[in-house]
Chain A
Amino acid sequence: MTELLLLSATGLMLSLFLGLLRVLLGPSAGDRMLATQLIGTVGVGMLLVLSVLLDEPALIDVALLLALLAAVAAAAFTGQQEARHD
């Protein structure tokens, strides 16, 4: 079981690394933001695996918060234009 978790943690890390390449390469801001969202999802998975692997149940709460706030960040990025003063 531990080996499986170790393997998945490292696998998730590799996928995060590939996501990082897309964040760095872009080319558009949308690409970077989508890749950042992907990293957020990978981070959630990673924290869940780590919480079992390191026997730290509080990391599940961190994963929950990361998932929620990633949605807030995406909302802020796609966000509306500010209403103009008329």
Chain B
Amino acid sequence: MNTTNLLVFDGLLLFSIVGLAWASLATTDERRSVILFMAFGLVLAVAWGRLLAPDVALAEAAIGAGLSGALLLAAVRKQSPGSSHTHANPDRNYSESGAKVVLQWLVTLLCAALAGTLAWALLHALSSAPHDTLPRAISDNLVASGVSNPVTAVLLNFRAYDTLLELAVLLTAVLGIFSLGQTTPGYQPAGPVFDGLVRWLVPVLILTAGYLLWVGAHAPGGAFQAGATLAAAGVVLRLTGRSRIGLPDGFVLRIIMAAGVGVFLLVGLTLLLLGRPFLGYPPAWAGALILLIETAAMLSIAATLLLAFVGGQPQSTAVNAAANRQREENSRC
């Protein structure tokens, strides 16, 4: 398939990405900015697909277009309770002290300098060395990795250290969220239409998460995309005002939060004891070990993202149930 025929398509795609990014940053209304950002994520997912990078496209579709949009909308709503429109006065924003203008220009210049450096580095890398040595090294060793998807092979085997540390970063983040204290009880109970939608949506999201986890071994997918999809199921459950959103209580929740890093370390240390390098899987076991680690990582990632949406330590279900009963009684009166 010659790609020159898609020139018009590519041009319009590029134009809409840049236009949406600019519009999202330029608007002073936070809610509008969030909606523009969600549209930006959607178009970006299509662009990654067009660039034949379905792994990144999956992550962008799940996190960029879906979850972060929901998270930001909830944050905007929390910031301005009662009023749906928060029109910041543009005059006020622009007439503020000169320091702000200087800061804006400084940030612009720094961004431009960064973009210039990156462009130079890219051009340099493209012109100096043959740039297909890394893909070749991966495809040469793919058989020993235990999976046939090169992205999963890199993330969970060849550079497993990287992924372990990423999961540690997520664990640190969720500990920060936990330190924010108890959350609000949640949302009001949903109407019948929304409730009906959620009854269909949640099982399909859970099924899709399982599919993405499984398919990651031989096609685009994996723990991060699966975890984000699983978290989305919890997000819609919370939006309908249910007390149970799939997060377990107390101790089990803590185990799940730490499961990604824990299982990863456990596998690595067990291999050390057996006389192999840290995270150097024996080829015969690699596929099974990767699936084990990815399953634990998916649960941790889903719990982390869902706790980020909840915005703190979830109340125990007993307290929630009591609050719900109270609310029902109130509405009956």
Our verdict on whether A and B bind, yes or no, reads yes
Flag if B197 contacts A43 (CB, 8 Å): no
Residue pair B241, A80 in contact (C-beta under 8 Å)? yes
Asked whether, in the complex, the Cβ of A58 is within 8 Å of the Cβ of B62, the reply is no
CB distance from B180 to the nearest CB of A (A): 16
How many chain B residues sit at the interface, stated as a range, is 35 or more
- Asked if residues B9 and A13 are in contact (CB atoms below 8 Å), the reply is yes
Measured CA separation A54–B1 after assembly (Å): 7
Q: Please report whether the interface of chain A is mostly helix, strand, loop or mixed according to DSSP.
A: helix
**Given the complex of chains A and B, what is the CA–CA distance between A52 and B13 in angstroms?**
18
Binary contact readout B59-96 vs A (1 if CB under 8 angstroms, 0 otherwise): 00110011101100110011001001100000000000
B254 to chain A, nearest CB (A): 26
Beta-carbon contact of B43 and A39 below 8 Å: yes
- Contact indicator A65/B208 (Cβ below 8 Å): yes
Is B232's beta carbon under 8 Å from chain A?
yes
Query: What residues of A have a CB within 8 angstroms of the CB of B81 in the complex?
Result: 82
Interface residues on A, range: 35 or more
Q: Are the C-beta atoms of B54 and A65 separated by less than 8 Å?
A: no
- Tell me which residues across on chain A come within 8 A of B65, comparing CB atoms: 40, 66, 69-70, 73
Contacting A at CB under 8 A, from B26-68, are 31-32, 35-36, 38-39, 42-43, 45-46, 48-50, 52, 54, 57-58, 61-62, 65-67
Q: Is B312 an interface residue (CB 8 A)?
A: no
Pair B184/A82 contact, Cβ less than 8 Å: yes
Whether A65 lies near B58 (C-beta < 8 A) is: yes
- Choose from A13, A17, A65 the contact partner of B62 (Cβ within 8 Å): A65
By a CB distance below 8 angstroms, the chain B residues around A81 are: 77, 187-188
Within the assembled complex, what's the spacing in Å between the Cα atoms of A6 and B38?
26
B236 at the interface (CB under 8 A from A): yes
A-B contacts besides A69-B62, A79-B77, 17 pairs, CB < 8 Å:
A10-B8, A10-B9, A20-B19, A24-B23, A33-B35, A36-B39, A46-B46, A47-B46, A47-B57, A50-B50, A51-B49, A53-B1, A55-B1, A59-B54, A62-B57, A76-B73, A79-B74
**Chain A contact residues, CB within 8 Å of chain B:** 2, 6, 9-10, 13-14, 16-17, 20, 23-24, 26, 29, 32-33, 35-36, 39-40, 43, 46-47, 50-51, 53-59, 61-62, 64-66, 68-73, 75-83, 85-86
